[in-house]
Structure 1
Amino acid sequence: MNKRWILKDPASPEIIQKLSAELNISAVLAGTLAQRGVKDFEEARYFFRPNELHLHDPFLMKDMEKAINRINAAISANEKILIYGDYDVDGTTSVALVYSFFKKLHSNIDYYIPDRYKEGYGISLQGIDYAAQNGFSLIIALDCGIKSVDKVDYANSLGVDFIICDHHLPGNELPAAVALLDPKRPDCDYPYKELSGCGIGFKLIQAYAEVHGLPFESVAEYLDLVAISIACDIVHVTGENRVLANLGLKKINESPCIGVKMLMEVAGKNCDYSISDVVFLLGPRINAAGRIDDAKHAVELLIACHEHEAREKGDMINLHNVERKGHDQQITDQALSIIESDEELIARKTTVVFNENWHKGVIGIVASRLTEKYYRPTVVLTRSNGHVAGSARSVVGFDLYEALCGCSDLLIQFGGHKYAAGLTMEPEKVPAFMAKFEEVVGATIPDELLVQQIVIDAEIDFSDIDSKFFRILNQFAPFGPENMAPVFLTKNVYVSGAASLVGTNHVKMFVMQPGGPSFSCIAFNQGHLLPQLKNGVPFDICYVIEENIWREQRSIQLNIKGIRFN
């Protein structure tokens, strides 16, 4: 698939010169830093040295005082408290964090994760009934609830109070909860809006700790869970999230909780975790619990106090992940077959595929794979509890949620973000939805958004890359949305020696620039270019600079994102 190469607009020469002089770094690094909004020495110190002092006052979040007062009252009166959260990574880490913290202070507490297949996403009537029937008078809902107006009214009618901790966009009406913590509510002045659901949970326990004079260490022990949620929920790695992710990754790599430690062991990597490692190694295993069996197993792992208990849960979750991979591959192959055998589907600006026998737990993963393949807004549908359930994914720059709003007359319910969403409809509405989704997207998506892009930070020469450059570049991490690993462009390079194919479709080679050094390079999924990569043939590359570790030897490696022949 051809990709668009887009070179970012450079920062102002004045800011580049100022940063370069104040920080004693190259103009290239100063420019790359400025593109991330850093303009002076103080902002650079905040960026490069994030610490707990950079965390915002939790009481800046609207309703935080109400939330803490209600929790205080519940603990004083020995009320039963139920910690409620969604079944994905953000939800399960949120529940593990808040439950573990308050369990040390209040024994009359339990948690509840809705069943993905029987109850669906968010707050359920079954969950509220469970609370009422078992004497819980307070529910703390995490990573969900902001749109549950009717459900909260129902809980209130049963004498069950709600504290909602959510990070999704609210609707026109807010639920009648005792407290509603969500930086995205229009009347909340909290200075950072992009916290994960687990991040909101962390602010809750941070506020409680401050009121009761507990040391920061009493909440810092859960930062590994916060980092996992930030990585896997694909929220911005900027501002307060960047501080939390940095502190959380440090905890993962130095002193993870027992459950996370076991998860790292079954994943086959025990140290040097990055955000990317969390996303690809830990996240799928936590998610697999709810996709294949019951997400409560993930919470049980994350709150485990004994190693033998955690090991048992970790092994079980790992087996679920193996099963998940099998479903994932089978359904992806079937979906690709449906598309490739239908010229009309291939010609569309959207992908919508339906098979009533597909496993609901993996359709989101399949939607992501189809989006990677065809690069257009994608919905994968299957049967679930008499309805048709779907998982949707978008392309960079296109608001999927808005497109689903345009199809809302055909949907029972839907919710999510700009780039990922879930939906439910009646089975007979599937053909109409396929046509309407294509119509809405086709009328609103610019053609250029249907071509995958590579955003390039700066053009450099290989001579710019030395040990100091690489050392400082590493301090731009942790990487993630809005702070991605810098991508550089170097023109007129040549293969040094011979390029070779490794794995199924990857190219390994050394690349040089006349008069400059050569670098080891890996180009994933670009084996089709191997015949053109010959000595003496110039080409341009865009790449991320990484550290390669082989047999305990560390070296700089270029991870090539694109190759363009002159």
Structure 2
Amino acid sequence: MRWTLKPKPSSNKVKALATELKVDELIATLLVQRGIETYEDARQFFRPSLADLHNPYLMKDMDKAVTRIEAAIANGENILVFGDYDVDGTTAVSLVSSYLKSYYPNVATYIPDRYNEGYGISYTGIDFADDNGFSLIIALDCGIKSIDHVAYAKSKNIDFIICDHHRPGEFLPEAVAVLDPKREDCTYPYDELCGCGVGFKLIQALAQNRNQTIENLIPYLDLVATAIAADIVPITGENRTLAKFGLEVINANPRPGIKALIQNVKKKVLTITDVVFIIAPRINAAGRIKHGNEAVALLTEYDLDQAEIFASEIEQHNADRKDLDKQITVEALSQIVENEETKKFTTVVYQENWHKGVIGIVASRLTETYYRPTIVFTKSGDKLAASARSVKDFDIYNALEACAEHLEQFGGHMYAAGMTLKEENYAAFKEAFERTVEETIHPDLLTPEISVDAEINLTDINEKLIRILNQFEPFGPQNMTPVFMSKGLRDSGYAKGIGADEDHLKLFVKQSRSIGSSQGFGAIGFGLGKKLDLVKNQNSFEAVYCIDENEFNGKVSVQLRLKDLR
């Protein structure tokens, strides 16, 4: 691990903000690091309001989308809501379809089969629409590059409205409306929405058109918050507002499908991290193991008893998914070692019978192990399909673009992407990808980085600091949980390894400079069991950590969650 202390912001800005907000300079520093420099910025950060959401009609083509949907309703047309099979896609389909169905019955949903159709808009889906009398398809979380598919639909007199958040190619599909804040000609003020977020802007515009207020849309925010968490988009601006209010819905009055998924969770209040690790993998498991339709059925079910039946089936899919990804990860790691590829700039592996539904998870696990831009391939029909994951600050989408001549198709983000290629092009692609990354990646990016917000003393940790830090939630990209560094630490003498294999480290730390003070804190270091010798015999050490509150037997205490020691 390399520890990087964030540059100190301008002391004038920090002092001015500290004075204006009546907080100490440590809090003001953390805020300025997050781009919050004025009282109004801080108000929106600490007290986000649904009233601050942007007018959806600021998004390019929104007026066209609403006009076409209202015309379809007026003419009694059948509307097909189409979306990807991951969390973002299935929540978006559930959101838009359930909203439209609240006042119009001729609405159905379509999720492509991961194995037979693959990612995005499919010809099979368009044929289904044609065979069943659908004249309008609303595509969510996909479609921005589906030029041929949209043209094919047009030849069958089927219109498309595309709601996507991926980067467009050189040309846009000839749809009735293309809603994508990443369009170069779109001046919408916030371009980090997920696919479900773009879907929410669509129903917000439809609601405005029907004289409904934002209050009418609050019950849909549990879906939007789940998508924001799962798709790892920045928790800034509108995403932060939607996530905050969506979490409130999840904790207070979630839809039956989400209630069924979380009813065995013992925590009183779920955070965005819980959504990432508890709700999202289960919704994803449906599309990975069986079919994304099962996720939509769960999320649009209004009867709790039926939702519980759906949730138990999805729970089984999730258990199967865990077994598969463990097995494939072991096979992939041994392949890397056998082929002596541990020293490369990239990790690219292929096995024709690996389960297509879990290769993305396996790519993430390999990235954690070797910390390299990683691609995991499997056989899919007569082609190879892959999932890619990147390391912090390296744009894997750009690297794939540089190797596009070897690919059939690809799409995604800076940190995650998918692609297909012909099997005979695999070796050439693997070589080109390795060369591209070697030429473009900064060597530092191949070592995991802990970004440290500030160096503090243990005496700086008090109730007021913790209370304000809690108000920084929800955490996520561009608003991560603050990480602190302290020097001159010593264990009280009771440090020990814990867990089945003593993989984790438990200790009680004090700071040398405050010896004589009783100030000290319990600390836990997950995966840091090997560093026990470092802290034995009251050796002095430095640590980077987050500040947590630990609840045990009804008592709440401050605990340092250690990220690394040296």
TM-score range, shorter chain: over 0.9
Letter in 1 for 2:483: V
Provide Cα deviations, 1:306-361, integer angstroms capped at 9, x if missing partner: 01110000000000000000000000011111112232x01211111111111110
State which of 436, 440, 461 in structure 2 corresponds to 1:440.
436
2:425 counterpart of 1:411: no
Letter in 2 for 1:285: R
Secondary structure, in 3 states, of the residue corresponding to 2:524? strand
Aligned equivalent of 1:282: 279
Q: Tell whether the 8 Å contact from 2:325 to 2:362 is kept in structure 1 after alignment.
A: yes
State which of 200, 204, 218 in structure 2 corresponds to 1:220.
218
Q: Tell whether the 8 Å contact from 1:20 to 1:27 is kept in structure 2 after alignment.
A: yes
Q: Tell whether the 8 Å contact from 2:83 to 2:110 is kept in structure 1 after alignment.
A: yes
Q: Tell whether the 8 Å contact from 2:5 to 2:452 is kept in structure 1 after alignment.
A: yes
Aligned equivalent of 2:326: 329
Give structure 2 stretches of 5+ with no counterpart.
none
Structure 1 pair 76–270 and aligned structure 2 pair: CA distance change class (3 A): farther
1:81-100 to 2 correspondences below 5 Å: 81-100=79-98
Letter in 2 for 1:404: L
Aligned equivalent of 2:295: 298
2:558 counterpart of 1:552: no
Provide Cα deviations, 1:68-112, integer angstroms capped at 9, x if missing partner: 111111111111000000000000000000011110110011000
TM-score, normalised relative to structure 1: 0.98
> Once the two structures are aligned, what percentage of the paired residues are identical?
54
Partners of 1:404 and 1:309 lie apart in 2 by 43
Q: Tell whether the 8 Å contact from 2:391 to 2:445 is kept in structure 1 after alignment.
A: yes
Aligned equivalent of 2:480: 484
State which of 460, 463, 468 in structure 1 corresponds to 2:464.
468
Aligned length: 560
Secondary structure, in 3 states, of the residue corresponding to 1:222? helix
Q: Tell whether the 8 Å contact from 1:498 to 1:535 is kept in structure 2 after alignment.
A: no
Structure 1 pair 271–153 and aligned structure 2 pair: CA distance change class (3 A): farther
Give structure 1 stretches of 5+ with no counterpart.
none
Secondary structure, in 3 states, of the residue corresponding to 1:20? helix
Aligned equivalent of 1:116: 114
Provide Cα deviations, 1:188-223, integer angstroms capped at 9, x if missing partner: 110000001000111111111111112323211100
CA displacement at 1:225 relative to structure 2: 0.4
Partners of 1:448 and 1:269 lie apart in 2 by 41
1:298-377 to 2 correspondences below 5 Å: 298-343=295-340, 345-377=341-373
Partners of 2:347 and 2:38 lie apart in 1 by 45
Letter in 1 for 2:533: P
TM-score, normalised relative to structure 2: 0.98
Aligned equivalent of 1:150: 148
Partners of 1:227 and 1:253 lie apart in 2 by 12
Partners of 1:84 and 1:555 lie apart in 2 by 48
Greater alpha carbon shift after TM alignment, 115-124 vs 384-393 = 384-393
Q: Tell whether the 8 Å contact from 2:492 to 2:538 is kept in structure 1 after alignment.
A: no
Secondary structure, in 3 states, of the residue corresponding to 1:533? helix
Secondary structure, in 3 states, of the residue corresponding to 2:508? strand
Partners of 1:535 and 1:24 lie apart in 2 by 42
Provide Cα deviations, 1:55-79, integer angstroms capped at 9, x if missing partner: 1111111111111111111111111
Greater alpha carbon shift after TM alignment, 543-552 vs 461-470 = 543-552
Letter in 1 for 2:8: P
Aligned equivalent of 1:33: 31
Partners of 1:271 and 1:263 lie apart in 2 by 15
1:65-84 to 2 correspondences below 5 Å: 65-84=63-82
Partners of 1:548 and 1:524 lie apart in 2 by 14
Partners of 1:50 and 1:285 lie apart in 2 by 29
CA displacement at 1:498 relative to structure 2: 1.3
CA displacement at 1:423 relative to structure 2: 1.0
Q: Tell whether the 8 Å contact from 1:4 to 1:454 is kept in structure 2 after alignment.
A: yes
Partners of 2:429 and 2:385 lie apart in 1 by 12
Secondary structure, in 3 states, of the residue corresponding to 1:530? helix
Partners of 2:87 and 2:392 lie apart in 1 by 23
2:537 counterpart of 1:535: yes
Secondary structure, in 3 states, of the residue corresponding to 1:119? coil
Partners of 1:561 and 1:190 lie apart in 2 by 38
Q: Tell whether the 8 Å contact from 1:496 to 1:535 is kept in structure 2 after alignment.
A: no
State which of 495, 510, 513 in structure 2 corresponds to 1:512.
510
Aligned equivalent of 2:493: 497
When the two chains are superposed, the root-mean-square deviation of aligned CA atoms in Å is 1.0
Partners of 2:307 and 2:98 lie apart in 1 by 15
CA displacement at 1:547 relative to structure 2: 1.5
Q: Tell whether the 8 Å contact from 1:264 to 1:270 is kept in structure 2 after alignment.
A: no
Partners of 2:469 and 2:131 lie apart in 1 by 55
Secondary structure, in 3 states, of the residue corresponding to 2:560? strand
